[in-house]
Amino acid sequence: MRTFFVVWAGQLVSLVGTNLTAFALSIYVFQQTGSVTQLAAVLLASHLPQLIITPFAGALVDRWDRRKAMILADAGAGIGTLVLIGFYLTDSLTVWNIAIAVAISGLFQAFQWPAYSAAMAVLVPQKQFGRASGLVQLADALGELGGPIIAGFVLAFSGIGLVFAIDVATFLVAVTTLLIVRFPKPAMTEAGAEGEGSLWHETKYGFQYLFARHGLFALLLVFGVVNFAFGFMGPLFVPLGLSLTNEAGLGTAFSISATGMLIGSVVASAWGGPKERVLGLVVGGALLGAAFAAIGFFPSIYWMTAVIFMGMLIVPTINATSQALWLAKVEADLQGRISAVRRFIAQAAIPIAYVLVGPLSDRVFEPLMANGGALSDSVGSVIGSGPGRGYALFFIVIGIMVMVAVAAAWMYPPLRHLERDIPDVVQQGTSQDPGSTVPEDSGV
């Protein structure tokens, strides 16, 4: 797993930079506009191009050297940050120019997760899938921990220009680590041979593969609901937080909350996740929905921080368990396109959430919970009324939606019996690249 650890370290540094810039841009856009709708528009600009190209990116990843695909993704995302620097230096850093830059980054990032996920299938022994997936979650947690607190203080004491400079440096580190390693090629499997053909055929095959496995497809739909909820919440965290504290305080709160993800990731990487993975995912999803709802109950940054901490404690085990499940059930030479189709289906509803969140929060939930609003005396007597409490009510509604969806999913037999009905893929070894650092008898 030596190559995996080198790659993991580089991606960890890159994640810190990515979270740093994302958090800083969210604060910058909301402070410049005071509009959740415009903040959501920037998030949509980042997400939509990435979502559209992802299925094709996955098919290309299965064709290409996965290391080179990751280099392309990191370098391309760095180009997006360089575009932001150009706008900043020419004093033209408007909301719509920011949208252009993040759209460029999003196009390249479409290759990132399919390539990274597919690389794990050939770099990590099968018995270590759970722990390796936990380490990936640990890197996410460290990025979530470091990015916001650094962004909050850099914005408060320097400015967004320094944020961009740090981000570029982190991309350079990630690319450098990828340049010094080599990845083995996955062995051809029967399913992989069946899926070969034109780019369109290979992309379509990824969907057909999942549609034929009803339990896996149902699991994706559950994650689709959870991600739909995250699509609503992403633009709401900053406005809700800023109604309770300032930029530095919000950055500190997010970083403290992210320690929950850090602790959960350490546990997931050491534990490897529950043996009954599907049951673990359903229970974890229900608990996550409860945490979403709890965010809105008290108008306190301390309460918000504590509840997000508890939610983030659960997320790494959910993600690591899911990733280990997919690595075990899908052939190595199909991992790129299946990872891409997974992401496409699970995140397809996020743009809808981004489109709806602004009008719903600014024109429905906030007016309902304003002082003197229609729900200020009833619901407001429980969660409070005034600025920001409409966002809080939105969180409660989202959390209830997730809990209902997860409970309904457990009632579907193909999902409940997924692990029994879909056997693990038997690892068949890998064909070796001449420059690979993984020996042929490594067992991966």
> Which residues neighbour 208 within 8 Å (Cβ) at sequence distance 6 or greater?
none
Beta bridge partners, 431, equal 185
Average pLDDT of span 246-264:
79
What mean pLDDT, rounded, does the chain reach?
Answer: 82
In this predicted structure, the answer to whether residue 425 has a pLDDT above a threshold of 80 is: no
Average pLDDT of span 79-96:
86
Distance CA 378, CA 397 (A): 16
In this predicted structure, the answer to whether residue 84 has a pLDDT above a threshold of 80 is: yes
Between 290 and 336, the more confident residue is: 290
Distance, first Cα to last Cα, the chain: 9
Q: pLDDT (tens digit, 9 = 90+) per residue, 181-216?
A: 888 877 777 776 777 777 888 888 888 888 888 889
Residue 358 tokens read as 């602004």
In this predicted structure, the answer to whether residue 430 has a pLDDT above a threshold of 50 is: no
pLDDT cut 70: percent of the chain above it: 95
* pTM for the whole structure: 0.67
Return the minimum-mean-pLDDT range out of 256-270, 355-369, 389-403, 406-420. 256-270
> What is the number of other CB atoms lying within 10 angstroms of the CB of residue 215?
20
- The per-residue DSSP string of 415-434 comes to HHTHHHHSPPPPP--EEPPT
Between 404 and 334, the more confident residue is: 404
DSSP code for 332: G
Distance CA 344, CA 338 (A): 10
Q: Quick one: pLDDT at residue 78?
A: 85
Reported confidence tier of residue 399, pLDDT bands at 50, 70, 90: very high
Domains defined for the chain, CATH in brackets = 2-182+191-421 (1.20.1250.20)
- The stretches of 1-128 forming alpha helices (DSSP H) are 2-33, 36-63, 66-89, 95-109, 112-123
Distance CA 151, CA 157 (A): 10
DSSP code for 185: E
In this predicted structure, the answer to whether residue 255 has a pLDDT above a threshold of 80 is: no
DSSP code for 126: G
Altogether, the residues listed in the chain come to a count of: 444
Q: Quick one: pLDDT at residue 393?
A: 92
Distance CA 191, CA 181 (A): 28
Q: Quick one: pLDDT at residue 326?
A: 86
In this predicted structure, the answer to whether residue 36 has a pLDDT above a threshold of 80 is: no
> What is the number of other CB atoms lying within 10 angstroms of the CB of residue 276?
12
Reported confidence tier of residue 166, pLDDT bands at 50, 70, 90: confident
206, amino acid identity: G
Average pLDDT of span 376-384:
88
Backbone angles phi, psi at 387, to 5 degrees: -55, 130
Residue 292 tokens read as 């979403």
263, amino acid identity: I
For residue 440, give the 3-state DSSP assignment: coil
Reported confidence tier of residue 25, pLDDT bands at 50, 70, 90: confident
145, amino acid identity: L
Reported confidence tier of residue 426, pLDDT bands at 50, 70, 90: low
Distance CA 177, CA 194 (A): 34
Average pLDDT of span 380-403:
89
Is residue 127 within 8 A of residue 442, CB to CB? The reply is no
220, amino acid identity: L
Is residue 203 within 8 A of residue 35, CB to CB? The reply is no
Is residue 36 within 8 A of residue 164, CB to CB? The reply is no
